[in-house]
Amino acid sequence: MTDSNLELQESGWEELRREARKIEGDLDLKLSSYAKLGPRFTQGGGSFLSSFFF
């Protein structure tokens, strides 16, 4: 493999890592938002999710 091919491959991996970190940050933000909403929907021993499934 030539040096230019190796550089292209490494830059491709770096781009994937950046994209993965962005997705991870977005998921963390959404999960923390859902965690804040969860207690609002818990009443009488049930939970927000159980109201959909049971």
Structure tokens at 41: 């929907």
Query: Whole-angstrom Cα distance, residue 28 to residue 38?
Result: 15
pLDDT at 5 over 70: yes
Q: What gap in Å lies between CA 54 and CA 48, rounded to an integer?
A: 11
For residue 45, what pLDDT is reported? 52
CA 20 to chain centre: 9
Q: How many domains does the chain have?
A: 1
Range of the domain at 45: 3-53
Main-chain dihedrals φ then ψ at residue 10, nearest 5 degrees = -65, -40
pLDDT score, position 42: 57
* Mean pLDDT along residues 7-14: 85
Higher-pLDDT residue of 33 and 53 is 33
Amino acid at 51: S
From CA 50, how far away is CA 35, in angstroms rounded?
A: 15
